Structure 1
Amino acid sequence: MTDPKAKILVVDDEEKNVKLMEAILLPRGYTIVTAFNGGEALEKVNDESPDLILLDVMMPVMNGFDVCKELKDDVDTQLIPIVIMTALGDINDRVKGIEAGADDFLTKPVNREELLARIQTSLRLKKTVERKVDKLRGAQDYLARFVPQSVKQQIEENPEAPQLEKSDQDMSALFVDVSGYTKLSEDMRQTADFVVEKYFSRFLDCIHAHEGDVTETSGDGLMVIFPGAAPEKHAVEATKAALEILQRTDDLNEQLNGIFEPISVHIGINSGVALLGPTKLEGTSGARWTYTALGPVINLAARIAGIAQGGTILVGPETARRIEREFSTREIGKKQLKNVRDEVMVYQVVGTAEDGMVST
């Protein structure tokens, strides 16, 4: 059965052959676009987005095999069915067509019934493939929600992505937690997770804007990493993101005033070298992969966040050193943190350098 919406590009350097194709196909409801050489054919594909191409072989400018290969090598056009039409009966020409990626062949002079049958079959197969591709893309988009932005970019640039293997990288790690989450969940019960998710969603844009990636989530917190080749830069970006998170929390508290109780978040940041990459957790029921950072630098960031008060940003000594040109900090003293052997000097971010405050 003819699809009246199907658009067919007919490519042939002889006008009489083009007219013959039009005489057969137009009465069947097909829309016909024409080209008279290989170069023009490529232009028409870009301009018209045909559903199928009937392609002659022997043409000026560019022969049909080269046109076919170029279209099949392009991810944007490789799913368009190409039926090569040739008067040449040599098996070598069919081999060339197959190597170029042709989907089907017709021998000139073209038989009307065979032409219509091959077109219908090719269009039907195209629709089947498109449905499967759409389904795969839908699944890919859904799974992509669970993958850090930087990982998605690396895979898009190189599907093999050797750089995704575990490696030591300098980074800043940020932990943001909801203050008093246990009491919040008891008071709000069913709505607590909904409210926290709403706040965290607001944080996501500013995290990405400062080149951070959320690698772990829990009911009341986020772990964010800021990797990069410039140590001072990613520490500064992490601190900027932290300040914006506090501001967005205040803004959302004001917007939701009278609907939900206001919440407060506290943040800890630490910088240094950590092991970044995929981690495989395997049990008898199967395996689960995560992409995260591990090591003392990350653990210290989490512990620093754990002692922060609501509405404050605490940083480790290395982060404080890296951000001193742009932010003012103050010492809050040496702290003995859980699972950390030595006492650690902890600093609070109190403003930007322009505020006129100095580190102490």
Structure 2
Amino acid sequence: MSGFPRILAVDDNKQNLSLLERALTSAQYEVVTAEDGPTALKLIGSAAPDLVLLDVMMPGMSGYEVCQHIRANEATRLLPVVMLTALTDVADRIRGIEAGADDFLSKPVNREELLTRVKSLLRIKTLHDDVETKNQLLRNLFGRYVSAEVAAEIVADPGRHLKLGGDKREVTVLFGDLRGFTPLAEQLDPQDVVDILNSYLKLVIDTVFEFRGTLDKFRGDGFMAFFGAPIPREDDPLNSVRCALTVQERLTRIAFAKFPDVRLHMGIGINTGVVIAGNIGSERRTDYTVIGNEVNTAQRFESNAGPGQILITGNTYERVKNAVQVRELGLLRVSGKQEGVLAYDVLGWREA
């Protein structure tokens, strides 16, 4: 809230509205008024009140109905609502609570009770607004690494997803790197190189997030992403291959007006396996990442992939074999493993 808190008073009785307005303005509140439910709902959208004082018994749309509309709107579902009523039956108050009311005031309204309850609810709203502002900052921060959907899940349960350290889980790791870009970059102005890379990396970021992946890091003109952490899903291996195929397809459509002959080509490697996933570092500086031999395997597969090629391991293939067309390449030697790792070249989707 900025400046004086704004209160919307709603009552079909003009005398009651006048009494409420005098009491509230004397306490340094800004007041807007409405004499019926539809007008109140319009003012909630246009005047953005910090609290609503709502008469229960009004012709046409009752206070219960107005409150239900307020709670059904995502933008106002937490807006404080105090119902004003001359009804004394417990069932009427229960109905108000079920409609979403935060508090009740009995008519005729006592000025001191009115101001006390308003002050209390506004204090709670201020605390909630502060928390929401911080959560939005967190969502924006995590939005650099994950999709908005995943960021919201992290913020909803930070104790689970943001603790320092890691846990074992199965993920699918994807490495991608441009082929032949370094020699090209040496011939271009540095600013042109940055512009080309930014166009390419925007494509990568958007596509990784589209398929619910987590962007780990950039490495020059390469990148690392993984699927399955911090939020695991059954289709993580399939999403990783979808992401890879989509990146390759979209790369063929990237064009640069200043350099019409420049075409970007990428090699991609994918592996599925158990890793340590979590926040690595200290309380002051952490990175959410995955570590383990399975990560190294994915990187090794990427280094062996040719331009436009997607190489996946046998572990990944077993999880996506019903959905993709592949060419078996035999065993690929990978450092850290005594035996070779079965490799497959992804050719495309299986036709339904």
TM over 0.5: yes
State the shift of 1:235 in Å.
Answer: 2.3
Q: Deviations over 1:178-236 (max 9, x none)?
A: 11343233223222233122122123333333332222222212212122453xx4322
TM-score computed with the length of structure 2 as normaliser: 0.68
> Matched residues in 1 for 2:135 and 2:4: separation?
27
Give, in whole Å, the separation in 2 of the partners of 1:169 and 1:53.
45
Any residues of structure 2 matched to 1:252-271 within 5 Å, and which? 252-253=254-255, 256=257, 258-259=259-260, 261-271=262-272
Aligned to 1:176: 176
Question: Which ranges in structure 2 are unaligned for 5 or more consecutive residues?
Answer: 36-53, 71-75
Paired letter, 1:104: K
Is 1:311 aligned to 2:308, yes or no? yes
Per-residue Cα deviation, 1:144-165 (whole angstroms, up to 9, x for no partner): 3334236523224434336977
Partner residue, 2:46: none
Alpha-carbon separation, structure 2, partners of 1:239 and 1:327:
9
Q: How many residues get paired?
A: 311
Q: Which amino acid aligns with 1:305?
A: E
- Alpha carbons of structure 1 residues 291 and 71: separation in structure 2 relative to 1, 3 Å: farther
Evaluate the alpha carbon distance shift between residue 353 and residue 135 of structure 1 in structure 2; reply closer, same or farther with a 3 A threshold.
closer
1:31 is aligned to 32
- Indicate conservation of the 8 Å contact 1:11/1:53, yes or no: no
Deviation at 1:23, TM superposition (A): 7.7
State whether structure 2 residue 244 is matched by structure 1 residue 206. no
RMSD between superposed Cα atoms in Å: 4.7
Does residue 287 of structure 2 align to residue 290 of structure 1?
yes
Name 1:344's counterpart in structure 2.
341
TM-score (norm 1): 0.67
The offset of 1:292, in angstroms, is 1.7
- Tell me which structure has the larger Cα radius of gyration: 1
Q: Are 1:154 and 2:156 matched, yes or no?
A: no
What is the CA distance between 1:237 and its match in structure 2?
2.3
What CA distance in whole angstroms lies between the structure 1 residues aligned with 2:222 and 2:34?
57
Q: Does the CA-based 8 Å contact 1:256-1:262 persist in structure 2? A: no
Equivalent pairs: percent with the same residue?
A: 20
Matched with 1:111 is: none
Instruction: Tell me, yes or no, if the aligned pair for 2:9 and 2:17 is still in contact at 8 Å.
Output: no
Cα offset for 1:267?
Answer: 0.2
Aligned amino acid, residue 287 of structure 1: R
Indicate how the Cα distance of structure 1 residues 314 and 43 shifts in structure 2: closer, same or farther if over 3 A, else same.
Answer: same
Which segment drifts farther, 297-306 or 38-47? 38-47
* Residue 144 (1) aligns with residue 116 (2): no
Post-superposition CA distance 1:55-78 (Å, at most 9, x none): 6476456559x76x9555xxxxxx
- Once residues 137 and 157 of structure 1 are traced to their aligned partners in structure 2, the CA distance between those partners, rounded to angstroms, is 9
What is the Cα deviation at residue 259 of structure 1?
Answer: 4.7
Partner SS state of residue 171, structure 1: strand
Asked if the contact 1:171/1:225 (under 8 Å) is kept, the reply is yes
CA 1:137–1:155 in 2, change beyond 3 Å: closer, same or farther? closer
What is the identity, as a one-letter code, of the residue corresponding to 2:151? K
Selected match of 1:247 from 228, 235, 249: 249
Q: Is the 8 A contact 2:86 2:108 kept in 1?
A: no
Give the Cα–Cα distance (whole angstroms) in 2 for the partners of residues 258 and 207 of structure 1.
26
Distance in 1 (alpha carbons) for counterparts of 2:296 and 2:224: 11
Task: Say whether the 8 Å CA contact 1:270–1:298 is kept in structure 2.
Answer: yes
Q: Are the counterparts in 1 of residues 173 and 295 from structure 2 also a CA contact under 8 Å?
A: yes
Q: Say whether the 8 Å CA contact 1:211–1:237 is kept in structure 2.
A: yes
Secondary structure in structure 2 of the residue aligned to 1:173: strand
Contact 1:175–1:224, Cα closer than 8 Å, also in 2: yes
CA distance 1:174–1:15, shift in 2 (3 Å): same
SS of residue paired to 2:328:
strand
Q: After superposition, where does 1:317-328 map in structure 2 within 5 Å?
A: 317-328=314-325
Cα contact 2:83–2:101 (8 A) shared by 1: no
Aligned equivalents of 1:4 and 1:166: distance in 2?
46
